[in-house]
Structure 1
């Protein structure tokens, strides 16, 4: 671990991460490391990272938009021009005192900037260098844009749900970005464990196309080994490889999700006598549309709460379909402490999803909210031995930017 790293709390306390990534996948992975106590330093252009200027849903804040705020807590910021020789030298200085370097530049950009793995390994042979790309470091798709929706489309997943003749439906979240972030987070932990055992740093590459493909381990194997094609039915179905009924159904006041019930039992509960003689594993496949239509007609007659009580009480797998407003008010969410709340110096009260893990002795925590661009430039450069006059020179020459919350 890096001796000069400021003391923090958490299971990764003492490790320093340089996060040169933009948008979602890389910053989300860096945030996870920061949540566990790593000293994550966000290296961004003097004008600020791209995500600072692109607000999802138009949710802009005072000085930091919600998108950036949600993906960059527990980080400090150095704003530097890496195209300037002085800026690159500054980065090398930081690399010499760091444990992890995380980037998701377009293929070839890191080499042009002089921050590719070979260049940084020359500065610090023990560095764990993580590169995230859309499609891989090389190959025919190397230069394609690695955008979430495009990767969902290429992955085949969109045709595993819905109905024949309807447009393929994307996930309701940035699925590929989020899973790629978790994969990169796992890769950093594994590479650090290897380094602890051997002293060796290494390069780790993660690409979004492989991530979203391997996420479908079971589904794609059903096709490649079982020979079962993706065949959507006429009625909307939530997963082509799962028997009916499986999906969402309208009630009088909302929607209910229903998953693979025992058909005779379901028939008794919803007053559908034709289900009594049906076999789920046979009819659930061959009569998918018929079963969906009959379930849909029955569930449309009563409220979500009424049907949930009837069906869940009989052991049927069922759940209401929530909005975000329902989710944040859910009793289990409150019990789990799923959301964290804190005060940000420029954005005020923040309520955001917290941590997907629990540690009994080294809990994750929010030590700081997302930084302003260059908010910690002076303090971090001082930590690696630069004098106030040297930092002032870099600031006045435009190589670095600084910011104050006041």
Structure 2
């Protein structure tokens, strides 16, 4: 049976709610898309199925983003109330025509995405407000918009997660402020970096567009690759991939300090060597040596990759109106529940009348009673686990000084200042830290005992690591059959099982970087944001929380590159209908009367503006005249933003680290820390019954070791003391 069979979701049709509805539909929920007689706004989007432009289903965006849903046309508040009163969840938008009518519905859970700043329905304004646009593209060009609807879908992911959290809590009303969720899902550590006085890849105190300098991209004989060199080991793999050329192994470049001081010269020399080989040769050889390297794929190349094909990321669906088409399937694989088959997006009103609601078997369950064992590093799993911690769960992170989480590597006082690292601290709020050496049998046994008691286990280790510890799903399930287990690697299982990856490499592999570009860019560089890291783990929380509510064991595999692909599903469908690779749209969007990013007074200051209607266009022309770029260039970005908003024009300055540091929103929490001092952190962009969940400071490494061993496992004091003395634990 599908995981969420019998679970009814009413989705008020809007670009903000669309992705949340699709997550639920992909897990087997009965999703009713509430539309007016004119249909969902997405039905009017371009491009459209060739030769079928007049059909209400012809929008490629609508077809890609509304699979497995049912459409119902609602014409009065009474009919809407009746539908909602028979549902488990309502996904609402504060600016929808039906928002006021939902005030008194009896639905157990209502989640509303609000747009307090009037950012509007475009992709570019929300992305500019998130702080992500300031780090995207080339420095000598306008900041570049992300492909598809990254800010919208980040808010939608939070809405889906909170719908399941509220279901576990027995019901409630949740608000997800759009502008806050855009920050939390795209640039969550920018405010933290500012507070620590640090920077990372164009974010923080030096907000810049780094082009190909942040995460280097090199031309090959037949394309491009992205290569990350962060450690001595990766340098050895890099020169090995190139055949150990003497210029790199025997000359001055053999010295790490010389390489740092002469990075530009090193890149020129390396580029010449790389350009002689094909993308696939470099990718396969580099990965075999342990190098983090990935191709910069077009969508055409992504679709034909053997790993993508083996995992069946894209499925052929027979559409009743348009015939065979390729659609991106949900980015989860579940063991313990049926795979929901893809169904085409609905015709307008084709769902008919909603039948009597069926029982779904989900039950209330307090997050405070749940133990989550976190075997993660970096961003994806730790950040998702931290969200559960801030919502009340007992999250235990397993780590050690022996094998540091790589985000603990650089702190306020330089390398290995592991308790004072802003990125780590942001992504591990509320987590408890257990320091244990997993090279020892006693250490592994400690974690196995915790696994036997855990409600949830989450891991994103390289392939084979948890198996060697006996902490893989099969091993844990043998002693804990009800465990819910999330496994999230960059590439997942298959042809590239065990390949090295970080978020920037998954951008390039998935085709996202190829689309994240202006038409006149030298070559696509996308962004130095760690996309899809900040969304991949969170959307995987939806099936995890559903299984907890069902009180059933479940294995969830969530390959991170598939999360990236799911966010550009509309462009992948466009590629299906296009001969040759499709290109990035830069800051343009043909569905808006105006959609762009314009220079403001001052150094590298910009504002994003989108005009959605003739009425807005008339007000804009009256306010600024015919040349908006000339008008914005004589005003600071904050002043231009204030003036345009006063005329009801959706806009946002391209938010920088300085802007975020000055933001007084309650999204940002100021917390004391034993060694880092009092710093700012990004909290949860949600309000539950009008209240924001409290933020809790991140842990010192091993801070809770003895507390966990005594309090959770009940270990004898003499045994714990012996383990501490021998550095089995606490180190």
The question of a shared fold, defined as TM-score above 0.5 by the shorter chain, is answered with yes
Change (3 A) 1:153 1:305: same
2:672 to 333, 338, 343: 343
Q: Which residue does the alignment assign to 1:35?
A: 390
SS at match of 1:180: helix
CA distance in 2, matches of 1:366, 1:261: 37
What does residue 259 of structure 1 align with? 610
Q: Which residue of 2 aligns with 1:98?
A: 454
User: Residue by residue, what CA displacement relative to the aligned partner does 1:165-189 show, whole Å, maximum 9, x if unpaired?
Assistant: 4132423522211011212333321
Aligned-pair CA distance for 1:140: 1.8
Q: Deviation at 1:144?
A: 2.1
In structure 2, what is the equivalent of residue 4 of structure 1? none
Which whole-Å CA distance do the structure 2 matches of 1:255 and 1:151 have between them? 28
Aligned-partner SS, 1:348: coil
Q: 1:45 aligns with which of 400, 413, 416?
A: 400
Match of 2:541 among 174, 185, 198: 185
| TM superposition outliers: structure 1 runs of 4+ over 6 Å | 56-62, 226-229
Corresponding position of 1:248: 597
Q: C-alpha displacement at 1:151, in angstroms?
A: 0.8
Q: Give the structure 2 partner of residue 327 of structure 1.
A: 660
Mapped contact 1:339–1:352 kept (Cα < 8 A): yes
1: CA distance, partners of 2:496 / 2:411? 27
Which residue is equivalent to 1:147? 502
The answer (yes or no) to whether the contact 2:402–2:437 under 8 Å persists in 1 is: no
Q: Are the equivalent residues in 2 in contact too, given 1:51–1:67 (CA < 8 A)?
A: no
1:305 & 1:364 partners in 2: Cα distance?
30
SS of the residue corresponding to residue 400 of structure 1 reads coil
Indicate the residue corresponding to 1:128 in structure 2.
Answer: 484
Aligned twin of 2:367: 12
Q: Deviations over 1:15-45 (max 9, x none)?
A: 0011110011111111111001111111113
Q: Aligned pair in 2 of structure 1 residues 52, 320: CA closer, same or farther (>3 Å)?
A: closer
* TM-aligned CA deviation for residue 243 of structure 1: 5.2
Distance 1:58 1:298, change over 3 A: farther
Q: Deviations over 1:285-334 (max 9, x none)?
A: xxxxxxxxx6545543444355445543443322222212212323xx52
* Cα distance in 2 between the residues matched to 1:174 and 1:57: 21
TM-score using structure 1 length: 0.79
Give 1:64 deviation, angstroms: 2.6
More deviation, 102-111/370-379: 370-379
Equivalences, count: 359
**8 A contact 1:55–1:67 mirrored in 2:** no
Structure 1 residues without counterparts, runs of 5 or longer: 1-9, 273-293
Q: Cα RMSD over matched residues?
A: 2.9
Counterpart Cα distance in 2 of 1:245 and 1:54:
44
TM-score by length of 2: 0.45
Aligned 1:6-405 pairs, distance under 5 A: 12-47=367-402, 49-51=404-406, 53-55=408-410, 63-137=419-493, 139-166=494-521, 167-195=523-551, 200-224=552-576, 230-232=582-584, 237-239=586-588, 245-253=594-602, 254-260=605-611, 265=618, 266-267=620-621, 269-272=623-626, 295-297=628-630, 299-305=632-638, 307-308=640-641, 311-330=644-663, 333-334=664-665, 337-360=666-689, 364-367=693-696, 369-383=697-711, 384-401=713-730
Residues in 2 aligned to 1:186 and 1:374: alpha-carbon distance in whole angstroms: 29
Task: Work out the CA distance in 2 between the residues paired with 1:206 and 1:240.
Answer: 31
Q: SS where residue 371 of structure 1 aligns?
A: coil
- Distance in 2 (CA, whole Å) between partners of 1:18 and 1:212 is 25
Please give the secondary structure, in 1, of the residue aligned with 2:454. coil
SS where residue 486 of structure 2 aligns? Answer: strand
For residue 87 of structure 1, give the secondary structure of its aligned residue in structure 2: helix
Q: Name the SS for the 1:398 alignment partner.
A: coil
Whether the 8 Å CA contact 2:684–2:692 is kept in 1: the answer is no
Compared CA separation, residues 162 and 363, structure 1 to 2 (3 A): closer
| Greater shift in the superposed pair: 352-361 or 11-20 | 352-361
Residues 305 and 362 (structure 1), Cα distance of their counterparts in 2 relative to 1, 3 Å cut: closer
Residues in 1 aligned to 2:411 and 2:529: alpha-carbon distance in whole angstroms: 12
Question: Which structure 2 segments of 5+ residues have no match?
Answer: 1-364
Shift of 1:48: 5.6
Deviation per CA, 1:28-80, whole angstroms, max 9, x where unpaired? Answer: 11111100111111111353632354238987768432122111121211111
Contact in 2 for aligned 1:127/1:201 (Cα 8 Å): yes
